[in-house]
Amino acid sequence: MLTLASDIEVLARFGRALADPIRCRILLKLREAPAHPSDLADTLGISRTRLSNHLACLRDCGLVLAVPDGRRTRYELADHRLGYALDDLRAAVVAIAADTTCPDADAKDCC
């Protein structure tokens, strides 16, 4: 059963997904077009096992869908508007002072 997430939960899930550079790269590739895991792994230069773990995270976050495609599975963005959100985030200007660190620098997923 699917449920709608609250605004805060959606942002938290999106943030979790974007916290890892590999997941960012996967989302940007899927923004261009749906893809099969083997093709994604080859394109991104990572192992299929590692890719599988990241795809599982993105599925759990609700950002990608696994779509049966014959004997294979194809992945795509769960909503085409996610592509626009990624474009907007990439175009945003982020000001980072050279001498500052993340307030939670000990956190694994910190910038």
Rounded to 5 degrees, what are φ and ψ at 13? -65, -40
| Residue 101 is assigned to a structural domain of this protein | no
> Alpha helix locations (H) across the chain?
7-18, 21-32, 37-44, 48-60, 81-91
| Residue 67 is assigned to a structural domain of this protein | yes
Q: What tens digit of pLDDT does each residue of 55-96 get?
A: 999 999 889 999 999 999 999 999 999 999 999 988 886 766
In this prediction, residue 111 carries a pLDDT of 40
| Intra-chain end-to-end CA distance of the chain, in Å | 34
| Residue 108 is assigned to a structural domain of this protein | no
| Residue 11 is assigned to a structural domain of this protein | yes
Other C-beta atoms lying within 10 Å of the C-beta of residue 92: 7
Place of tokens 């985030």: 89
In this prediction, residue 21 carries a pLDDT of 94
Q: What tens digit of pLDDT does each residue of 36-47 get?
A: 999 999 999 999
In this prediction, residue 99 carries a pLDDT of 64
| Residue 97 is assigned to a structural domain of this protein | no
Place of tokens 């749906």: 34
* CATH label of the domain that carries residue 80: 1.10.10.10
| Residue 55 is assigned to a structural domain of this protein | yes
- Per the structure, the count of domains in the chain is 1
Q: Which domain covers residue 66, as residue numbers? A: 7-91
